[in-house]
Protein backbone atom coordinates (compact mmCIF):
# COMPACT_ATOMS: atom_id res chain seq x y z
CA UNK A 1 0.00 0.00 0.00
CA UNK A 2 2.81 2.41 0.89
CA UNK A 3 4.58 1.62 -2.40
CA UNK A 4 1.41 2.46 -4.32
CA UNK A 5 1.11 5.79 -2.49
CA UNK A 6 4.76 6.57 -3.18
CA UNK A 7 4.37 5.75 -6.85
CA UNK A 8 1.23 7.88 -6.99
CA UNK A 9 3.06 10.79 -5.41
CA UNK A 10 6.00 10.34 -7.77
CA UNK A 11 3.57 10.37 -10.72
CA UNK A 12 2.02 13.60 -9.39
CA UNK A 13 5.48 15.21 -9.14
CA UNK A 14 6.31 14.08 -12.69
CA UNK A 15 3.05 15.59 -13.89
CA UNK A 16 3.93 18.95 -12.34
CA UNK A 17 7.39 18.97 -13.91
CA UNK A 18 6.13 17.89 -17.35
CA UNK A 19 3.32 20.47 -17.38
CA UNK A 20 5.59 23.30 -16.27
CA UNK A 21 8.85 22.51 -18.08
CA UNK A 22 9.26 26.13 -19.14
CA UNK A 23 9.24 27.38 -15.56
CA UNK A 24 11.55 24.72 -14.12
CA UNK A 25 13.93 24.10 -17.05
CA UNK A 26 13.42 26.82 -19.62
CA UNK A 27 13.67 29.84 -17.30
CA UNK A 28 16.98 28.88 -15.59
CA UNK A 29 18.40 27.82 -18.99
CA UNK A 30 17.59 31.29 -20.38
CA UNK A 31 19.20 32.97 -17.35
CA UNK A 32 22.29 30.75 -17.69
CA UNK A 33 22.52 31.53 -21.42
CA UNK A 34 22.29 35.29 -20.76
CA UNK A 35 24.98 35.10 -18.05
CA UNK A 36 27.22 33.10 -20.40
CA UNK A 37 26.70 35.63 -23.20
CA UNK A 38 27.48 38.53 -20.85
CA UNK A 39 30.64 36.77 -19.60
CA UNK A 40 31.89 36.06 -23.12
CA UNK A 41 31.20 39.65 -24.14
CA UNK A 42 33.02 40.99 -21.03
CA UNK A 43 35.98 38.64 -21.61
CA UNK A 44 36.28 39.88 -25.22
CA UNK A 45 36.62 43.46 -23.96
CA UNK A 46 39.63 42.56 -21.76
CA UNK A 47 43.09 42.22 -23.40
CA UNK A 48 44.31 38.62 -23.53
CA UNK A 49 47.36 39.17 -21.28
CA UNK A 50 45.16 40.68 -18.54
CA UNK A 51 42.76 37.79 -18.89
CA UNK A 52 45.62 35.32 -18.41
CA UNK A 53 46.82 37.30 -15.35
CA UNK A 54 43.33 37.13 -13.90
CA UNK A 55 43.22 33.38 -14.53
CA UNK A 56 46.59 32.87 -12.82
CA UNK A 57 45.35 34.90 -9.85
CA UNK A 58 42.16 32.82 -9.63
CA UNK A 59 44.13 29.57 -9.75
CA UNK A 60 46.49 30.81 -7.00
CA UNK A 61 43.60 32.11 -4.86
CA UNK A 62 41.77 28.79 -4.68
CA UNK A 63 44.82 26.49 -4.68
CA UNK A 64 44.81 24.20 -1.64
CA UNK A 65 41.87 25.86 0.13
CA UNK A 66 38.90 23.86 1.44
CA UNK A 67 36.09 23.91 -1.16
CA UNK A 68 33.48 24.14 1.63
CA UNK A 69 35.12 27.28 3.04
CA UNK A 70 35.36 28.92 -0.40
CA UNK A 71 31.88 27.88 -1.59
CA UNK A 72 30.26 31.10 -0.35
CA UNK A 73 32.23 33.09 -2.99
CA UNK A 74 29.96 31.61 -5.65
CA UNK A 75 26.70 32.50 -3.90
CA UNK A 76 26.59 35.90 -5.60
CA UNK A 77 26.37 34.12 -8.98
CA UNK A 78 23.34 32.22 -7.73
CA UNK A 79 21.29 35.36 -6.94
CA UNK A 80 19.83 35.80 -10.50
CA UNK A 81 18.86 32.12 -10.50
CA UNK A 82 17.25 32.34 -7.06
CA UNK A 83 15.28 35.45 -8.05
CA UNK A 84 14.13 33.65 -11.21
CA UNK A 85 13.15 30.61 -9.13
CA UNK A 86 11.03 32.72 -6.76
CA UNK A 87 9.25 34.50 -9.63
CA UNK A 88 8.63 31.21 -11.47
CA UNK A 89 7.35 29.57 -8.27
CA UNK A 90 4.97 32.51 -7.74
CA UNK A 91 3.63 32.14 -11.28
CA UNK A 92 3.37 28.36 -10.86
CA UNK A 93 1.58 28.48 -7.50
CA UNK A 94 -0.93 31.17 -8.44
CA UNK A 95 -1.91 29.30 -11.62
CA UNK A 96 -1.67 25.68 -10.59
CA UNK A 97 -5.02 25.17 -8.81
CA UNK A 98 -6.74 27.98 -10.75
CA UNK A 99 -5.81 26.60 -14.20
CA UNK A 100 -7.30 23.17 -13.43
CA UNK A 101 -10.70 24.77 -12.76
CA UNK A 102 -10.44 27.22 -15.65
CA UNK A 103 -9.79 24.39 -18.13
CA UNK A 104 -12.30 22.12 -16.27
CA UNK A 105 -9.59 19.43 -16.16
CA UNK A 106 -10.11 19.38 -12.38
CA UNK A 107 -13.06 17.04 -12.94
CA UNK A 108 -10.75 14.60 -14.75
CA UNK A 109 -8.07 14.80 -12.04
CA UNK A 110 -10.64 14.35 -9.27
CA UNK A 111 -11.93 11.22 -11.00
CA UNK A 112 -8.44 9.74 -10.49
CA UNK A 113 -7.82 7.71 -7.29
CA UNK A 114 -5.72 10.56 -5.88
CA UNK A 115 -6.79 12.64 -2.91
CA UNK A 116 -6.92 16.43 -2.89
CA UNK A 117 -4.36 16.35 -0.07
CA UNK A 118 -1.80 14.46 -2.18
CA UNK A 119 -2.44 16.73 -5.15
CA UNK A 120 -1.90 19.95 -3.19
CA UNK A 121 1.06 18.47 -1.28
CA UNK A 122 2.67 17.50 -4.59
CA UNK A 123 2.57 21.16 -5.62
CA UNK A 124 4.21 22.22 -2.34
CA UNK A 125 6.89 19.52 -2.69
CA UNK A 126 7.48 20.59 -6.31
CA UNK A 127 8.24 24.13 -5.16
CA UNK A 128 10.23 23.25 -2.02
CA UNK A 129 12.26 20.23 -3.18
CA UNK A 130 11.97 19.53 -6.93
CA UNK A 131 12.22 22.95 -8.63
CA UNK A 132 15.47 23.94 -6.85
CA UNK A 133 17.02 20.65 -8.08
CA UNK A 134 16.48 21.69 -11.70
CA UNK A 135 17.93 25.13 -11.05
CA UNK A 136 20.99 23.62 -9.36
CA UNK A 137 21.42 21.26 -12.34
CA UNK A 138 21.39 24.22 -14.76
CA UNK A 139 23.90 26.13 -12.60
CA UNK A 140 26.10 23.00 -12.60
CA UNK A 141 25.96 22.97 -16.41
CA UNK A 142 26.96 26.65 -16.48
CA UNK A 143 29.91 26.01 -14.14
CA UNK A 144 31.00 23.04 -16.29
CA UNK A 145 31.03 25.17 -19.45
CA UNK A 146 32.93 27.92 -17.59
CA UNK A 147 35.52 25.42 -16.32
CA UNK A 148 36.06 23.96 -19.79
CA UNK A 149 36.53 27.46 -21.18
CA UNK A 150 38.97 28.45 -18.38
CA UNK A 151 40.89 25.18 -18.87
CA UNK A 152 41.23 25.73 -22.62
CA UNK A 153 42.30 29.34 -21.97
CA UNK A 154 44.82 28.18 -19.38
CA UNK A 155 46.33 25.45 -21.61
CA UNK A 156 46.63 27.79 -24.58
CA UNK A 157 48.47 30.38 -22.42
CA UNK A 158 50.62 27.97 -20.40
CA UNK A 159 49.01 28.73 -17.03
CA UNK A 160 49.38 26.39 -14.02
CA UNK A 161 45.87 24.94 -13.74
CA UNK A 162 46.16 23.04 -10.45
CA UNK A 163 44.23 25.77 -8.58
CA UNK A 164 41.36 25.61 -11.09
CA UNK A 165 40.57 22.12 -9.82
CA UNK A 166 40.07 23.55 -6.32
CA UNK A 167 38.01 26.38 -7.84
CA UNK A 168 35.73 23.84 -9.53
CA UNK A 169 35.38 21.86 -6.28
CA UNK A 170 34.41 25.08 -4.47
CA UNK A 171 31.87 25.78 -7.23
CA UNK A 172 30.44 22.29 -6.77
CA UNK A 173 30.28 22.76 -2.99
CA UNK A 174 28.42 26.03 -3.60
CA UNK A 175 25.70 24.02 -5.39
CA UNK A 176 24.95 22.34 -2.06
CA UNK A 177 24.79 25.78 -0.40
CA UNK A 178 22.47 27.06 -3.15
CA UNK A 179 20.12 24.07 -2.73
CA UNK A 180 20.20 24.45 1.06
CA UNK A 181 19.44 28.18 0.72
CA UNK A 182 16.48 27.65 -1.60
CA UNK A 183 15.14 24.75 0.50
CA UNK A 184 15.32 26.77 3.72
CA UNK A 185 13.99 29.92 2.04
CA UNK A 186 10.96 28.15 0.54
CA UNK A 187 10.20 26.54 3.92
CA UNK A 188 10.56 30.02 5.47
CA UNK A 189 8.06 31.27 2.88
CA UNK A 190 5.59 28.42 3.51
CA UNK A 191 2.92 30.86 4.81
CA UNK A 192 3.23 32.77 1.51
CA UNK A 193 3.05 29.50 -0.45
CA UNK A 194 -0.07 28.51 1.50
CA UNK A 195 -1.67 31.95 0.98
CA UNK A 196 -1.10 31.85 -2.77
CA UNK A 197 -2.35 28.24 -3.06
CA UNK A 198 -5.47 29.11 -1.06
CA UNK A 199 -6.41 31.89 -3.46
CA UNK A 200 -5.39 29.84 -6.48
CA UNK A 201 -8.00 27.31 -5.32
CA UNK A 202 -10.56 29.95 -4.30
CA UNK A 203 -10.64 32.58 -7.05
CA UNK A 204 -12.85 32.27 -10.12
CA UNK A 205 -10.84 35.01 -11.84
CA UNK A 206 -7.58 36.93 -11.26
CA UNK A 207 -6.26 34.86 -8.33
CA UNK A 208 -3.19 37.09 -7.88
CA UNK A 209 -5.41 40.13 -7.41
CA UNK A 210 -7.50 38.22 -4.87
CA UNK A 211 -4.38 37.11 -2.98
CA UNK A 212 -2.90 40.61 -2.82
CA UNK A 213 -6.18 42.43 -2.29
CA UNK A 214 -7.40 40.22 0.56
CA UNK A 215 -3.99 40.46 2.25
CA UNK A 216 -4.15 44.27 2.21
CA UNK A 217 -7.79 44.20 3.29
CA UNK A 218 -7.15 41.87 6.24
CA UNK A 219 -4.26 44.05 7.42
CA UNK A 220 -6.38 47.16 7.11
CA UNK A 221 -9.35 45.59 8.90
CA UNK A 222 -7.16 44.39 11.76
CA UNK A 223 -5.76 47.86 12.29
CA UNK A 224 -9.18 49.53 11.87
CA UNK A 225 -11.16 47.15 14.08
CA UNK A 226 -8.64 46.26 16.81
CA UNK A 227 -5.89 48.87 16.52
CA UNK A 228 -3.24 46.13 16.24
CA UNK A 229 -0.75 45.31 13.49
CA UNK A 230 0.12 41.69 14.15
CA UNK A 231 -0.14 40.75 10.46
CA UNK A 232 2.14 43.62 9.44
CA UNK A 233 4.57 42.79 12.26
CA UNK A 234 4.62 39.15 11.17
CA UNK A 235 5.30 40.01 7.53
CA UNK A 236 7.98 42.52 8.55
CA UNK A 237 9.75 39.91 10.67
CA UNK A 238 9.74 37.43 7.75
CA UNK A 239 10.68 39.75 4.93
CA UNK A 240 12.79 42.60 6.32
CA UNK A 241 16.10 40.77 6.59
CA UNK A 242 17.29 39.50 3.20
CA UNK A 243 19.98 37.40 4.91
CA UNK A 244 17.18 35.02 5.84
CA UNK A 245 17.10 33.87 2.20
CA UNK A 246 20.79 33.09 1.78
CA UNK A 247 22.91 30.56 3.61
CA UNK A 248 26.62 31.30 3.36
CA UNK A 249 27.92 28.63 5.72
CA UNK A 250 27.07 24.94 5.97
CA UNK A 251 27.08 25.20 9.76
CA UNK A 252 24.04 27.52 9.64
CA UNK A 253 21.71 25.06 7.90
CA UNK A 254 20.45 23.13 10.91
CA UNK A 255 20.10 26.27 13.03
CA UNK A 256 18.00 27.93 10.34
CA UNK A 257 15.83 24.83 9.87
CA UNK A 258 15.09 24.09 13.52
CA UNK A 259 14.14 27.30 15.25
CA UNK A 260 10.93 28.77 16.67
CA UNK A 261 10.22 31.21 13.81
CA UNK A 262 10.60 28.49 11.19
CA UNK A 263 8.32 26.10 13.11
CA UNK A 264 5.67 28.77 13.61
CA UNK A 265 5.82 29.64 9.92
CA UNK A 266 5.34 25.97 9.02
CA UNK A 267 2.27 25.83 11.33
CA UNK A 268 0.74 28.93 9.73
CA UNK A 269 1.55 27.66 6.24
CA UNK A 270 -0.07 24.32 7.09
CA UNK A 271 -3.32 26.07 8.07
CA UNK A 272 -3.46 27.85 4.72
CA UNK A 273 -2.47 24.72 2.75
CA UNK A 274 -5.22 22.77 4.58
CA UNK A 275 -7.65 25.50 3.47
CA UNK A 276 -6.44 25.06 -0.12
CA UNK A 277 -6.94 21.26 0.13
CA UNK A 278 -10.56 21.68 1.27
CA UNK A 279 -11.12 24.52 -1.23
CA UNK A 280 -10.27 22.19 -4.10
CA UNK A 281 -13.57 20.35 -3.67
CA UNK A 282 -15.38 23.42 -5.06
CA UNK A 283 -14.91 22.89 -8.76
CA UNK A 284 -17.19 25.63 -10.07
CA UNK B 1 -20.00 23.18 12.29
CA UNK B 2 -18.28 21.21 9.54
CA UNK B 3 -21.35 21.60 7.31
CA UNK B 4 -21.26 25.37 7.78
CA UNK B 5 -17.50 25.64 7.08
CA UNK B 6 -17.73 23.49 3.94
CA UNK B 7 -21.05 24.99 2.76
CA UNK B 8 -19.39 27.04 0.01
CA UNK B 9 -16.03 28.52 -0.93
CA UNK B 10 -16.71 31.80 0.88
CA UNK B 11 -17.41 30.25 4.29
CA UNK B 12 -14.35 28.05 3.92
CA UNK B 13 -12.17 31.05 3.01
CA UNK B 14 -13.56 33.05 5.91
CA UNK B 15 -12.93 30.19 8.33
CA UNK B 16 -9.38 29.63 7.09
CA UNK B 17 -8.53 33.32 7.31
CA UNK B 18 -10.12 33.62 10.76
CA UNK B 19 -8.13 30.65 12.06
CA UNK B 20 -4.95 32.04 10.46
CA UNK B 21 -5.41 35.47 12.03
CA UNK B 22 -6.41 33.98 15.41
CA UNK B 23 -3.19 31.95 15.58
CA UNK B 24 -1.14 34.94 14.39
CA UNK B 25 -2.70 37.33 16.92
CA UNK B 26 -2.37 34.80 19.76
CA UNK B 27 1.31 34.33 18.94
CA UNK B 28 1.80 38.09 18.70
CA UNK B 29 0.19 38.61 22.09
CA UNK B 30 2.17 35.81 23.77
CA UNK B 31 5.57 36.66 22.31
CA UNK B 32 5.03 40.43 22.17
CA UNK B 33 6.01 40.69 18.50
CA UNK B 34 6.42 44.39 17.66
CA UNK B 35 7.08 46.34 14.48
CA UNK B 36 10.29 48.21 13.99
CA UNK B 37 9.96 51.93 14.63
CA UNK B 38 10.95 53.64 11.39
CA UNK B 39 13.43 56.46 11.89
CA UNK B 40 14.08 58.86 9.04
CA UNK B 41 17.41 60.56 9.59
CA UNK B 42 17.56 64.04 8.15
CA UNK B 43 20.03 66.87 8.95
CA UNK B 44 17.22 69.44 8.86
CA UNK B 45 14.80 67.83 11.25
CA UNK B 46 14.25 64.71 13.32
CA UNK B 47 11.24 62.63 12.31
CA UNK B 48 10.11 59.55 14.16
CA UNK B 49 6.93 57.94 12.84
CA UNK B 50 5.96 56.80 16.35
CA UNK B 51 5.71 60.51 17.32
CA UNK B 52 3.54 61.52 14.38
CA UNK B 53 1.15 63.68 16.44
CA UNK B 54 4.02 65.62 18.10
CA UNK B 55 5.57 66.19 14.66
CA UNK B 56 2.29 67.57 13.29
CA UNK B 57 1.87 69.86 16.32
CA UNK B 58 5.44 71.18 16.04
CA UNK B 59 5.06 72.02 12.38
CA UNK B 60 1.69 73.78 12.52
Per residue of chain A (284 residues), what is the pLDDT tens digit? 688 888 999 999 999 999 999 999 999 999 999 999 999 899 888 888 888 888 888 778 777 778 888 888 888 888 999 999 999 999 999 999 998 888 888 888 888 888 899 999 999 999 999 999 999 999 999 999 999 988 888 888 887 777 788 888 889 999 999 999 999 999 999 999 999 999 999 999 899 999 999 999 999 888 888 888 888 888 888 877 777 777 777 778 888 888 888 999 999 999 999 999 999 988 77
The answer to whether residues A129 and A183 touch, using CB atoms and an 8 Å cutoff, is yes
Q: How many CB pairs under 8 A join A and B?
A: 61
Report the number of secondary-structure helices (H) and strands (E) in chain B: 3, 2
Q: In Å, how far is A196's CA from the nearest CA of chain B?
A: 13
In chain A, what residues touch B37 (CB-CB under 8 Å)?
A: none
DSSP per-residue codes, A60-119: HHHTTS-HHHHGGGGHHHHHHHHHHHHHHHHHHHHHHHHHHHHTTTHHHHHHSS--HHHH
Q: In Å, how far is A192's CA from the nearest CA of chain B?
A: 12
The answer to whether residues A78 and A139 touch, using CB atoms and an 8 Å cutoff, is yes
In chain B, what residues touch A282 (CB-CB under 8 Å)?
A: 8-9, 12
The answer to whether residues B29 and A227 touch, using CB atoms and an 8 Å cutoff, is no
The string of pLDDT tens digits covering residues A37-94 is 999 899 888 888 888 888 888 778 777 778 888 888 888 888 999 999 999 999 999 9
Nearest Cβ partner for A234 among B9, B24, B36: B24
The answer to whether residues A259 and A247 touch, using CB atoms and an 8 Å cutoff, is no
The string of pLDDT tens digits covering residues A21-41 is 999 999 999 999 999 999 989
In chain A, what residues touch B4 (CB-CB under 8 Å)?
A: none
Q: Please give the sequence-ordered ranges of beta strands (E in DSSP) within B2-60, or none if there are none.
A: 39-40, 47-48
Q: Do B21 and A222 touch (CB under 8 A)?
A: yes
Q: What is the pLDDT of residue B39?
A: 44
How many Cβ atoms from other residues are within 10 Å of residue B4's Cβ?
10
- Report the chain B residue with the minimal C-alpha distance to residue A270: B20
Cα–Cα distances in Å, from B48 out to A188, A267, B39? 31, 35, 5
Residue A163 lies in a domain: yes
Distance CA A24, CA A131 (A): 6
The total number of structural domains in chain B stands at 1
In chain B, what residues touch A281 (CB-CB under 8 Å)?
A: 6
**Which of left, alpha, beta for B32 (phi over 0: left; psi -120 to 50: alpha)?**
left
Distance CA A125, CA A157 (A): 47
What range defines the domain where residue B49 resides?
2-58
Which one-letter DSSP state was computed for residue B35?
P
Q: Do A279 and B9 touch (CB under 8 A)?
A: yes
- Report the chain A residue with the minimal C-alpha distance to residue B32: A230
Q: Do A231 and B17 touch (CB under 8 A)?
A: no
Within a 13 Å sphere around the CA of B11, how many CA atoms are in the beta-carbon half?
9
Best residue of B1, B3, B10, B17 to probe chain A, by most A CBs closer than 10 Å: B17
Nearest Cβ partner for B24 among A202, A236, A268: A268
Distance CA A106, CA A104 (A): 5
Which one-letter DSSP state was computed for residue A189?
T
What range defines the domain where residue A265 resides?
2-279
Distance CA A89, CA A151 (A): 35
The string of pLDDT tens digits covering residues B12-29 is 999 999 999 999 989 888
Q: Do B23 and A228 touch (CB under 8 A)?
A: no
Amino acid sequence: MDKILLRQFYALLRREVLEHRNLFLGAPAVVAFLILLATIWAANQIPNDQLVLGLEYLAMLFDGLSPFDMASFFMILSIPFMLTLYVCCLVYLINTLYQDRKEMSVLFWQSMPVSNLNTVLSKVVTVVIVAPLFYVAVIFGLYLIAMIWLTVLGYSNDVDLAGLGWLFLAALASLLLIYASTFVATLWLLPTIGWILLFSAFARKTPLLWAGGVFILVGFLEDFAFGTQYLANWVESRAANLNQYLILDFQNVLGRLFNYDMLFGVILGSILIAGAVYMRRFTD
Amino acid sequence: MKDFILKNRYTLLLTTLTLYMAVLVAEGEITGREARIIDFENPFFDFNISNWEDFVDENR
